[in-house]
Amino acid sequence: MTSTDNGSSASKLTVTIVGGGIGGLALANMFERANIEYLILEKSTSVKALGSSLGLDASSLPVMEQLGLLEDFKVASKPVRHFNFYNEQIQSIGLVDFECQTEIGGYPAVILDRPTFYSILLKKLPKDKIHYGRKVATIEQDEHSATVHCADGSSYTSSIVIGADGAYSAVRKNMYKDLAEQGRLPPNDALPLSYDQHCLVGVSKPLDPSKHEMLRRETCDFEIVIPKSDPFYAIYMPLPGNRVSWAVIHNVEKAEAKSGEARYSEWGSGSDASEEMSNFVRHQRSVFEGMTLGDIIDQTPKELISRIMLEEKYFETWYNGRVVLLGDGK
Ligand SMILES: Cc1cc2nc3c(=O)[nH]c(=O)nc-3n(C[C@H](O)[C@H](O)[C@H](O)COP(=O)(O)OP(=O)(O)OC[C@H]3O[C@@H](n4cnc5c(N)ncnc54)[C@H](O)[C@@H]3O)c2cc1C
């Protein structure tokens, strides 16, 4: 068993961040700037970014600017110009204009792919601050420190623990177990997550820009196809490099997310949920002339396709003693 004292003396604040996703990596960049000692524990054995895109706007870009990362984001992204809506015949049924974003908020809305987003967040972080393959299982705390125990037997002690471990947070589970035993957990927090949407996402290989005008634009329009004939709709977002980020959203009957149920299902992962959803949606016409949604899916590397459950829940409790939650975990 490895036991690392990540520093628990009263004079020096040290932090264990559980989860090296967007929240954990962004926080680590802040700690680098603030000179706060930290360590990230990430359960995956390497960086694992979902094959999809991410939109940022005036609510988050000022933070990236303070972290000295804004220029990287500008180079790697496209500014969002419009949301264009279409029916099943790909006839326009409406438009939302985003061009006024900079005037309103001081920053444009931009879009980039997630693997690139991760690489920008990782750029300024020393490699030895992220310990991969560390799945946090349990946490204990006393007056002076908090200790996390990982599934591989390692443990880490620090002044505080920050759970940035996503929607199915193990840190939250541990915290809520303690609070429930003490009779201090609000009833709503004891209820499971639920979801009523399944989402299939991917980022295509480069497509031919000479055939598709929307790829040649400096800006990105979200092209949204909402057919009356299908129980799902599709969004296409052109990215730098002539690639297209796409998402298909299927409304399903509201269901409880079962404990231990995989949130993501990846192509070839043993579960055929991604392939199954892909077959279900592939007939729909896409905004790319002469191509169906299935043709776009076929132009996407399988490792960049995932099916995701989109959960919704508001948790009231986000800290207890020396343990605190951030991001999707709270
Ligand atoms: C399809 C889709 C599109 C989205 N688009 C946008 C968008 O355009 N703009 C936007 O702002 N947001 C968007 N979101 C939401 C955004 O992705 C999330 O809010 C964000 O990823 C949450 O970050 P996080 O760090 O809290 O969690 P995550 O990114 O889920 O990271 C959690 C990390 O913790 C790790 N982990 C989990 N359990 C453990 C454990 N026990 N021990 C150690 N590590 C663990 C995981 O491996 C993972 O790396 C989108 C979400 C989806 C699904």
Q: Please state the atom number of ligand 1 nearest to the C-alpha of residue 201.
A: 1
219 located within any domain: yes
Distance CA 15, CA 22 (A): 17
pLDDT at 8: 45
116 located within any domain: no
110 located within any domain: no
- For the stretch 200-224, pLDDT in tens is 999 999 999 999 999 999 999 999 9
pLDDT at 10: 45
Domains in the chain, number = 2
Residues 276 and 255 in one domain: yes
pLDDT at 252: 85
Residue nearest to atom 26 of ligand 1 (CA): 327
Beta bridge partners of 223: 84, 236
299 located within any domain: yes
pLDDT at 136: 98
Residues 180 and 237 in one domain: no
Mean pLDDT of the chain: 91
Question: Which of the four pLDDT bands, split at 50, 70 and 90, describes residue 311?
Answer: confident
84 located within any domain: no
Question: Which of the four pLDDT bands, split at 50, 70 and 90, describes residue 194?
Answer: confident
pLDDT at 263: 58
Residue nearest to atom 4 of ligand 1 (CA): 54
pLDDT at 290: 94
pLDDT at 2: 40
Q: To which H or E segment does residue 28 belong?
A: helix 22-34
Determine the structural domain holding residue 288 and report its residue range: 194-312
Residues 34 and 151 in one domain: yes
Distance CA 6, CA 131 (A): 13
Cα(165) to ligand 1 centroid in Å equals 8
Q: DSSP string of 163-182?
A: E---TT-HHHHHHHHHHHHT
Residue nearest to atom 2 of ligand 1 (CA): 52
Residues 275 and 201 in one domain: yes
Residues 223 and 302 in one domain: yes
Provide the residue type at 150 as one letter: C
Residues 182 and 40 in one domain: yes
Asked if pLDDT for residue 134 goes beyond 80, the answer is yes
Q: Please, are residues 304 and 202 in contact by the beta-carbon 8 Å criterion?
A: yes
Residues 138 and 256 in one domain: no
Residues 299 and 215 in one domain: yes
Strand 78-86 with 220-225, pairing: parallel
Q: What are φ and ψ of residue 293, in 5° steps?
A: -55, -35
319 located within any domain: yes
Distance CA 301, CA 205 (A): 7
Q: Is the dihedral of CA 72, 78, 81, 83 positive or negative?
A: negative
Asked if pLDDT for residue 61 goes beyond 70, the answer is yes
Strand 3-5 with 155-158, pairing: parallel
What separation in angstroms does the CA of 172 have from each of 139, 185, 239, 318, 323? Answer: 10, 12, 35, 8, 9
Least confident stretch, 46-55, 153-162, 239-248, 277-286: 46-55
Asked if pLDDT for residue 197 goes beyond 80, the answer is yes
Residues 258 and 146 in one domain: no
184 located within any domain: yes
Rounded to an integer, the average pLDDT of 224-251 is 95
Residues 204 and 226 in one domain: yes
- For the stretch 241-285, pLDDT in tens is 999 999 999 988 887 766 555 555 555 555 577 888 999 999 999
Residues 295 and 216 in one domain: yes
Asked if pLDDT for residue 119 goes beyond 90, the answer is yes
| CATH number for the domain harbouring residue 31 | 3.50.50.60
Beta bridge partners of 220: 80
246 located within any domain: yes
Cα(22) to ligand 1 centroid in Å equals 6
Rounded to an integer, the average pLDDT of 5-21 is 77
Residue nearest to atom 14 of ligand 1 (CA): 54
Question: Which of the four pLDDT bands, split at 50, 70 and 90, describes residue 9?
Answer: very low
Cα(27) to ligand 1 centroid in Å equals 13
Least confident stretch, 22-36, 246-260, 301-315: 246-260
Residue nearest to atom 30 of ligand 1 (CA): 166
pLDDT at 280: 94
Q: Which residues form ligand 1's pocket by a CB distance below 6 Å?
A: 18-24, 41-44, 52, 54-55, 135-136, 164-166, 170, 199, 201, 247, 308, 327-329
Give the distance between the most distant pair of CA atoms in the chain: 66
Mutation test of ligand 1: which of 17, 39, 42, 249 has the most ligand atoms closer than 8 Å to its C-beta? 42
Residues 226 and 181 in one domain: no
